[in-house]
């Protein structure tokens, strides 16, 4: 498997696709950092405990934060790394030649997946490190140990989230013969999860518990609960919640209603220690890991059971 | 010669369709074996089972003394396979593609580099060794495929339609390489629809039809069984046919049968006896107008067995 892994890493690193993705993510990150630095004064007070983390979460009036940019780009990177993993080998006539070499069949899919994961890790870790470095230089406030821990957790979570999208793209590359179809299917699912699930969740919540400006707190809470529960079928929502909790320690709960109330009353909740934030996001993290594992397991089983002639 | 491949009642069924049906096949070490059959006869499925890439539904198979289903890595480390539509990484050079194969076969890097250079020279691709495979013609890719097989120093090579879609010059190159594989002691199983190519390079053939092995053996023996007579058929056109000429020709050593058809003599024999027969005709006082020789045509043998199947 190591030979496959090595070859895939070399292929990725020398490919134009990697160059484009890396440049795109880097540009977005730089842009988001610039926006954060421009606006950070308005969100930081003398009492603010985690100034360094604000680099990642501060947005402009119209421009999104680094976190929002990353939420958008991670699925793209994951899909780009996996959508043609198997079907391109099949289409080029390489698959049967490769499998006739003394390697187990699963070495191919495992090697490809691990190489993709490594590349994902390289892209995300280096971009986040660059943004941190840039932020440190401009803001001039070094991160404390808890902020470093939160950033490490954020990197790991982002890699896991990217792994989910890559596993999904690999799954489609096993099921569909054409690379264009597998890419389209992956992008379609991303659009559904990213844009439509929140809309559907909002519509269902409003249909079940309609609210307006005069609605009671109880009604609003119920509405938000329904919306939050339905929204969590989307891995994008799970990632959004988890990263928000990790990078915003003041976020003491993922309960939308509670957040709404605290915003309404102008009271911020007490910052949670890292261990508590981790506990808070644990269900989201486990769900994303489970989704990635399911996608990979299904593609693994399908790839292993398919007859070579139809592979 | 030892048996390098042996199958007993080998059967493969896909979703109720029997692709290979109780196949009993024997291939001897060092031979170039022609594996024939129409599309869908089960040739590729058989090769895949022999390589351990597809599991048989029933029956047993031994390749180089190993069971490919239970010991696929051992089989794949000594058996090369050139699929019909061989593919390479188009953005890599020929040398890089072979290096990857060497790496998958756990060859030490230095040994692999030397071997790859030698092989690229053998298949006539030295000058384009560092060019991307995307610039290669189909014939060049097939030659690269043969080098790819050779990287692992195989005992046995399966070539599935290795000459399809290549120009005549390319076909010659590939056939020469297959012959040289045979000379270097590699047993070759050569699947092809090009029967004259099979006849040119193979010592024995197996004919598969609808999953059944309908004939197996040396081309001569199959020809004798199918068409009758000797390996060669000489047709001599003679004027002033003398009565005793037929008897005189029958006395020539190696002649098996003589038939007269108008002014033509149809002589069946085991060797090319054109010289002796011409001399006999002239000595008898008859006038020899022309002569032509025909070997058993594999096509005739193949057609007969396919039709019967």
The mean per-residue pLDDT over the stretch A154-170 comes to 95
Name the pTM for this structure: 0.82
Instruction: Fill in the DSSP letter of residue B186.
Output: -
Rounded to whole angstroms, how far apart are CA atoms B143 and B235? 40
**Chain A within 8 Å of B45 (Cβ-Cβ)?**
yes
| Cα separation, A226 vs A221, whole angstroms | 9
**Nearest in space to A78 (alpha carbons), one of A132, A17, A134:** A17
Percent of chain A with pLDDT over 70: 91
CA of B274, closest CA in chain A: separation in Å? 48
Tokens of A228: 């939050």
For residue A310, pLDDT beyond 60: no
pLDDT for A258: 62
Rounded Cα distance, B158 and B32, in Å = 10
B contact test, residue of A10, A11, A85, A100 with most B CBs within 10 A: A100
Spatial separation of the C-alpha atoms in residues A243 and A281, rounded to whole Å: 8
Nearest residue on chain B to A100, judged by CA atoms?
B76
What is the number of CB-based contacts under 8 A between chain A and chain B? 68
How long a stretch of residues is chain B?
A: 309
Give this complex's ipTM. Answer: 0.79
Residues of A in contact with B134 (CB under 8 A): none
Contact A102 B85 (CB under 8 A): no
CB contact under 8 A, B81 and A96: yes
Tell me which chain B residues have a C-beta less than 8 angstroms from the C-beta of A104.
72-73
Q: Which of B181, B188, B98 is nearest to B141 (CA)?
A: B98
3-state helix, strand and coil shares in percent for chain A, rounded to the nearest 5: 80, 0, 20
| Angle made by CA atoms B191, B119, B46, in degrees to the nearest 5 | 20
Which of A117-121, B23-27, B136-140 has the least mean pLDDT? B136-140
Encoded tokens for B264 = 């033509």
Q: Which 8-state DSSP code applies to residue B133?
A: G
Q: Quickly tell me which residue has 């070859």 as its tokens.
A: A7
Most confident of A6-20, A45-59, A269-283, B196-210: A6-20
Where do the DSSP E strands lie in A193-261? none
H-assigned helices in chain B: 43-51, 72-78, 94-104, 109-122, 138-151, 168-183, 195-201, 219-226, 245-251, 274-283, 298-308
The neighbour count for residue B111, using CB atoms within 10 Å, is: 10
| Closest B-chain CA to A306 | B54
Contact residues on chain B for A95, CB-CB shorter than 8 A? 87
Mean pLDDT calculated for residue range A221-244:
90
Q: Is A286 on the interface with B (CB under 8 A)?
A: no
CB of B261 within 8 Å of a chain A CB? The answer is no
Cα B137 from Cα B147, distance rounded (Å):
15
H-helix or E-strand spanning residue A126:
helix A105-139
Length of chain A in residues, anyone? 311
Q: CA-to-CA distance for A204 and A197, rounded, in angstroms?
A: 10
């Amino acid at each position: 498997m190591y030979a496959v892994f090595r070859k895939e890493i070399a292929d990725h690193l020398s490919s134009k696709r990697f160059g484009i993705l890396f440049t795109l993510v880097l540009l977005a990150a730089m842009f988001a950092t610039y926006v954060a630095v421009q606006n950070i004064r308005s969100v930081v007070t003398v009492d603010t405990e985690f100034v360094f983390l604000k680099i990642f979460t501060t947005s402009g009036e119209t421009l999104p934060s680094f976190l929002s940019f990353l939420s958008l780009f991670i699925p793209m990177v994951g899909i780009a790394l996996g959508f043609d993993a198997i079907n391109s080998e099949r289409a080029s006539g390489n698959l049967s030649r490769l499998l006739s070499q003394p390697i187990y069949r699963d070495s191919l899919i495992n090697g490809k997946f691990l190489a993709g994961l490594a590349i994902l890790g390289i892209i995300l870790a280096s971009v986040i490190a660059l943004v941190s470095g840039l932020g440190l230089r401009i803001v001039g406030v070094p991160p404390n140990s808890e902020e470093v821990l939160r950033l490490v957790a954020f990197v790991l979570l982002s890699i896991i989230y990217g792994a989910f999208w890559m596993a999904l793209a690999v799954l489609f590359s096993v099921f569909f013969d054409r690379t264009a179809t597998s890419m389209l299917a992956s992008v379609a699912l991303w659009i559904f999860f990213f844009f439509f699930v929140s809309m559907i969740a909002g519509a269902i919540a409003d249909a079940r518990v309609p609210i307006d400006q005069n609605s009671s707190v109880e009604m609003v809470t119920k509405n938000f609960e329904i919306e939050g529960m339905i929204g969590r079928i989307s891995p994008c929502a799970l990632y959004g919640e988890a990263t928000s909790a990790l990078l915003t320690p003041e976020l003491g709960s993922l309960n939308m209603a509670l957040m709404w109330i605290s915003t309404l009353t102008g009271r911020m909740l007490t910052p949670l220690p890292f261990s508590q934030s981790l506990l808070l996001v644990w269900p989201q993290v486990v769900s994303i890991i489970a989704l990635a594992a399911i996608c990979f397991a299904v593609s693994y089983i399908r790839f292993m059971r398919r007859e070579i002639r139809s592979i | 010669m030892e048996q390098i491949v042996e199958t007993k009642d080998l059967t493969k069924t896909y979703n109720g369709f029997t692709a290979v049906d109780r196949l009993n096949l024997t291939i001897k070490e060092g031979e170039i074996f022609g594996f024939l059959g129409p599309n869908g006869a089960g040739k590729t499925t058989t090769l895949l089972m022999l390589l351990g890439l597809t599991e048989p539904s029933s029956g047993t198979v031994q390749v180089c003394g190993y069971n490919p289903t239970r010991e696929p890595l051992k089989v794949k480390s000594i058996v090369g396979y050139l699929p019909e539509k061989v593919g390479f990484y188009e953005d890599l050079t020929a040398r890089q593609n072979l290096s990857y194969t060497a790496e998958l076969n756990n060859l030490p890097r230095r040994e692999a580099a030397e071997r790859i250079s030698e092989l690229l020279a053998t298949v006539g691709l030295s000058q384009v060794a560092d060019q991307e495979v995307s610039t290669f013609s189909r014939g060049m890719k097939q030659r690269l495929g043969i080098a790819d097989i050779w990287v692992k120093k195989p005992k046995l090579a399966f070539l599935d339609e290795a000459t399809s879609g290549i120009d005549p010059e390319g076909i010659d190159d590939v056939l020469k390489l297959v012959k040289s594989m045979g000379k270097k002691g590699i047993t070759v199983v050569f699947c092809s629809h090009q029967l004259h190519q099979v006849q040119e390079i193979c010592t024995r053939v197996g004919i598969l039809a609808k999953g059944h092995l309908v004939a197996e053996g040396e081309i001569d023996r199959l020809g004798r069984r199918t068409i009758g007579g000797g390996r060669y058929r000489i047709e001599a056109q003679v004027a002033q046919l003398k009565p005793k000429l037929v008897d005189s020709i029958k006395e020539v050593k190696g002649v098996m049968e003589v038939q007269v058809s108008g002014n033509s003599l149809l002589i069946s024999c085991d060797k090319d006896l054109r010289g002796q027969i011409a001399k006999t005709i002239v000595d008898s006082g008859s006038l020899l107008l022309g002569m032509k020789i025909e070997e058993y045509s594999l096509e005739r043998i193949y057609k007969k067995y396919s039709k019967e199947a």
